[in-house]
Structure 1
């Protein structure tokens, strides 16, 4: 919590002011999370201050909320292009990305629980930067990021605004894809890539993660001649959630002799859990297209799943 408050203070996220008459004051709360590394071990414990954006009023506290994220088709094409042209893949992470967004509206917030300024209990925070939880934070962050990236003369792709590219006069290329705060860069212009990294370091608190290894729950292994993608950790997490880590492997994901029908047997006691699992399995088809048909079958029963499904 102290680390989070230090980051917020160094970013000049707010100033303390008396509560303005006629202005709504939104609340905030602490959210705690456990960061797990690629090996499944606890990496670090994290505390994040989150604004209670659900109390904001449209047209008064916020207007635009849209923020594009990279399409999965774009990610696949990005990786395929790098594999085909033998380009290296690099990954960057923007720390506390949403805190870099510039707010257009006047937002007032209560002081963080446990960190009320000494002698300032009657003051409130006038936000100068966006904060996690605000309705407009994703929009504000992407607007800032897009502006900074285009200052480097990167051009947004018309088909996917989360993909940027730069072609030099010497026919060298730099490509970038961003998913919220995760960034992947590739291309054959190594000096251009180095300069782009420095440009990002200058404007954001950026961590260089080196060669791409894990992105959007996808494991990436790149050699000199190919790129292999898998979702091993993601699969193991699903098995742990369903308590099937000791199950035996089979040749096919569905018995071809079994035909599933609506209202077949007892209703599933937790239909919400069924839908969540199907959604996770559907994402697994990113690297396991062989299970696509099976997932399409069980997806037919999302509204009223039964035990047999």
Structure 2
């Protein structure tokens, strides 16, 4: 409350004192008891179990800010939105947000088993990135052979987007988080005047892009980090209204916390989100009365 950014009425996310609970604070989140500020608490959807209610806010609010915060690039009806990792935690939330706003989300995945999953969430189409091999950092523009090979791959990927839509329409928003391996392609296929918005770098942090396409087509490259209170409430409201599902795929015991993280480290986790039971005695409990009986 004493942060100058907050006192001035600005976005708290830009304040020097801002910290994401459990990520940038020392309290963590995998504990029987943890310290939070009152404004960080939101109504639990009554129709969800405790574990389902615990699974969505981090990725959901992050995706909500990415898609609604940036002036002139808020997701809107009929927008084409390219979503990397459509079957993951972030991607599964982003698809549903786009659907709720009437946009046209296209998911990028690695595996046929993820195609139907994304379509059921609302994706108008799905692209399997394994069908392309131009991923990685952008070759130097003076290396004609390697650059042309990359360009051929990027154009083929762009055509795959058009094929999904049935028209030559490029993404107004590219929802990024892999980073190093995909940013060159994201920047290339993004529509003129569009935005690449990124919240992570899961494949690496050294991103490269061809600035000629960036400045001449007046694209935007926007960083985004979690969400403020308004955005967290905005996504929670979608869940309360039944417009977004937590996509809970697996629940672990508190003693299995390490195993859950190891599965993620090996990229073997199931689609959507996972949760860990902390004080709940069993899965499926929805309120305090049920918890007391358990």
Question: What TM-score bracket applies, with the shorter chain setting the length?
Answer: under 0.3
Larger Rg over CA atoms:
1
Provide TM-score, normalisation by structure 1. Answer: 0.24
Q: Give 1 or 2: higher helix fraction.
A: 2
Larger relative CO (CA 8 A, sep 6+): 1 or 2?
A: 2
